Amino acid sequence: MSISDDSLPSLSSLSDAIKGDDIGSLKSILSTKPEILELAAQIWPEDPFIRAYNSKSLRVIKEIGTRKPEFVRTKKEDGNTILHLACATGDKEMVSVLVRIDSELCCVKNNLSMTPLHTAVKHGHGDVVRELVSACPESLGIQTSQLETAFHVAVKNNKCHAFKVLLEVAEKHEKADLLKKEDDQGDTVLHVAVSNELVLIVKMLLLCYRSSRTGRLKLVHSTNKKGYTALDLCNMNPSVSATRIRPILIEADVIESYFLRKSESSTSKSNSSSMWLTEKRDVLLVILAIFIGVVFTVSSALPTYFPKDKINASEPFQFEAVASGRLPLVFYFLVCLTVTLTISACFLTVLLYKLPLGYLLFLSGIAIFFLYILLANYIMPEFFIKLGSHHISSYRLMWILALSYIFAGTLLLLVGKYFLFCFNKFAYWLMMRLQDSNLLSTSAKVESHDQSGEIEMK
């Protein structure tokens, strides 16, 4: 593009407008000479956009970025864009303007394969990190040529505050799994934190996974390419900081391993029970059939030992007589037999229903149960129990008691199982609180480094 004589005053005016952040003059110049920006980019040692950045002219940057978006992606010799430079200096206002012009700028890498997010993290600017991730959450997952995530960069450069911000935004955008990413040496963030003796970051990492048993356990047990876990690296380090990190890792490993094994054991027992029921179905069918046969045999023999005509029940019994055992003995026999038959018949029906033509066997089970109802009605001596102004027949009371026993027993088993489950949950919660209280007590130290992002190596 040739330079005409009348372009020189326009270039001078453009330079003054950029330095003074004079948006009115800029618009006036661009309206008369739309090509002035391209001309300035050829003549000046730096293009107009970079000059506007150096002058901190935010309004001019917005206008140029809107008119010429390609200027936003202009790179310097080191591959850094304007956004990289703003992230390095921690200029949040400038970063906010740039990402509004082009949010995809967050994913552009420089010659060191670092994105603006990596740059912001490297220099410890937590507020800039929030701005970048808010504009482009995908930038969290971008890795360098050494496969380093932003978390790796934060830990390797000992930027505790930036790391804390990364944890917060990763949890917000459901990207906490990035903590398990490995670099080109197979090191996770935990490996790097232990190697650099960063006690506080180790605590924050484990605290981040406090709600996930398997997640925390996998993080602690993860090995790098040399086959070392974080605990192995800690054991090889005789420093004072390593002695502080070691019990943290051991405690997390012991607690998570215990509850994971308990959970797996519970699942295994459940699966084993199902397999056992399948394998032993024939045996169960025989046992249940024997129970039902015994019930019918004993029921049929009861009239021989307890004839109805020998039971004197001309007067109704008081309800207290039920618990005191003053009712005819045959009544208690029939209650027990009814409980046994009802439970056996229910289990037998379930097992038979899964067999071929199970619905026919199911109908047979119902017929057998109906037969017992008639038999019990025939055997049961007729008497009444007085309950207030009402009289309950012996036969009806038998069924009420039998079904009440079954219901109460089932409810007791379920409540016991539920309380056992709650106890295990409470035990796990208590152990985690004891562990996390130590982590939480130190996490507040991060706030003291908001300005510098630096913590002293322990």
Do residues 45 and 38 touch, judged by C-beta distance below 8 A?
no
Q: 289 and 203, same structural domain? A: no
CA distance 181 to 175: 11
Q: Report the candidate in 94, 34, 29, 33 with the shortest Cα–Cα distance to residue 61.
A: 94
> For residue 148, which phi and psi values (nearest 5 degrees)?
-85, 130
**Residue 63 in domain:** yes
**Residue 445 in domain:** no
**Residue 341 in domain:** yes
Q: Report the candidate in 172, 253, 264 with the shortest Cα–Cα distance to residue 206.
A: 253
Q: 234 and 85, same structural domain? A: yes
Q: Report the candidate in 6, 4, 2, 28 with the shortest Cα–Cα distance to residue 17.
A: 28
Q: 386 and 255, same structural domain? A: no
Last residue of a domain, one of 235, 264, 293: 264
Q: What is the pLDDT of residue 446?
A: 43
Q: 307 and 220, same structural domain? A: no
3-class secondary-structure state, position 318: strand
Q: pTM here? A: 0.59
pLDDT in tens, 87-129: 999 999 999 999 999 999 999 999 999 999 999 999 999 999 9
Q: 258 and 110, same structural domain? A: yes
> If you average pLDDT over every residue of the chain, what do you get?
80
Q: 306 and 179, same structural domain? A: no
The boundaries of the domain holding residue 376 are 280-433
Last residue of a domain, one of 54, 74, 94: 74
Q: 163 and 31, same structural domain? A: no
What residues are paired with 336 via a beta bridge?
Answer: none
CA distance 49 to 18: 9
Q: What is the pLDDT of residue 6?
A: 52
Q: 151 and 46, same structural domain? A: no
Flag whether pLDDT at 83 surpasses 50.
yes
Angle (CA) 378-379-384 rounded to 5° is 90
**Residue 446 in domain:** no
Structure token pair of residue 341: 């038959």
Q: 376 and 303, same structural domain? A: yes
Number of domains in the chain: 3
What is the average per-residue pLDDT within 29-50?
82
**Residue 246 in domain:** yes
Q: 296 and 207, same structural domain? A: no
**Residue 269 in domain:** no
